[in-house]
Amino acid sequence: MGADSTVILDGVGVKRALTRIAHEILERNKGVRDLVLVGIRTGGVHLAHDLALRLEEIEGEKVPVGAVDITLYRDDIKGHAEHLPVGKTDIPFSIEGMKVVLVDDVLYTGRTIRAAMDAIMDHGRPSCVQLGVLVDRGHRELPIRADFVGRNVPTSRKENVQVVFDAENTPTEVILQK
């Protein structure tokens, strides 16, 4: 790690934050009934699986996990020199009438979340969509806020926030790069 990066959350901090988010999800939704998690590729998917394990530990019931790729729903597609590779959207269950918790690693401008919500709506009509993120770094460009936040981190636009995952896709730390 370079001299100009700082650790915002270490491994233990990440675990505590995710455990708290899991409890908050259960409290808000009064259990896991009709609840599904949908992670945004790629960091959000890893976190969604992590959260699903925690929910299962607490409630003893499995929560379905899906993955959404937002490439096809981006609003900045013309800005790229060439189109980005398309990842796979994989929601192997009906979201009709379900409570969907959308999971991402870092909440920033809100444009990714807008795209992800459009992608989810194309799969059906959930009864509600909630948003859980590990880090909220501010600078929203759209009227979007998270329901569950691991850590609020004030940042400048020049900085970069990164959630680091190990080989097993377990989140190990969150770093801020200047």
Partner 1 sequence: MGFKHKDIIGLQDLTAEEIELLLNTAENLKEINSRDIKKVPTLRGKTVVNLFYEASTRTRTSFEIAAKRLSADTINITASTSSVVKGETLSDTARNILAMKPDIIVMRHAASGAHHYLAQRVSCSVINAGDGAHEHPSQGLLDMLTMRQKFGKLAGLKVAIVGDITHSRVARSDIYGLSKMGANVFLAGPPTMMPPGVERLGNVTVCKDMREAVEGADVVMMLRIQLERQGKTLLPTLKEYSRYYGLNNNVLQLAGKDAIVMHPGPINRGVELCSHVADGAQSHILKQVENGVAVRMSMLYHVSGGELTAE
Q: Which residues contribute to the site for partner 1 (CB under 8 A)? A: 69, 72-73, 77-78, 80-83, 85-90, 118-119, 122-124
CB of 119 to partner 1, least distance (A): 8
Residue whose entry in the numeric block shows the structure tokens 């991402």? 104
CB of 108 to partner 1, least distance (A): 21
Complex with partner 1: residue 60 or 79, whichever CB lies closer: 79
| CA 125 vs CA 94, 95, 118, 129: distances in Å | 9, 7, 11, 10
Of the candidates 126, 125, 131, which has an alpha carbon nearest to the alpha carbon of residue 103? Answer: 131
Complex with partner 1: residue 80 or 158, whichever CB lies closer: 80
Contact (CB, 8 A) for 18 and 53: no
CB of 8 to partner 1, least distance (A): 32
Give DSSP secondary structure letters for 15-69. HHHHHHHHHHHHHHHTSSTTEEEEEETTHHHHHHHHHHHHHHHHHSS---EEEE-
Contact (CB, 8 A) for 178 and 12: no
Complex with partner 1: residue 78 or 158, whichever CB lies closer: 78
Complex with partner 1: residue 7 or 121, whichever CB lies closer: 121
SS3 state of residue 71: helix
CB of 90 to partner 1, least distance (A): 7
Complex with partner 1: residue 81 or 167, whichever CB lies closer: 81
Contact (CB, 8 A) for 173 and 3: no
CB of 83 to partner 1, least distance (A): 3
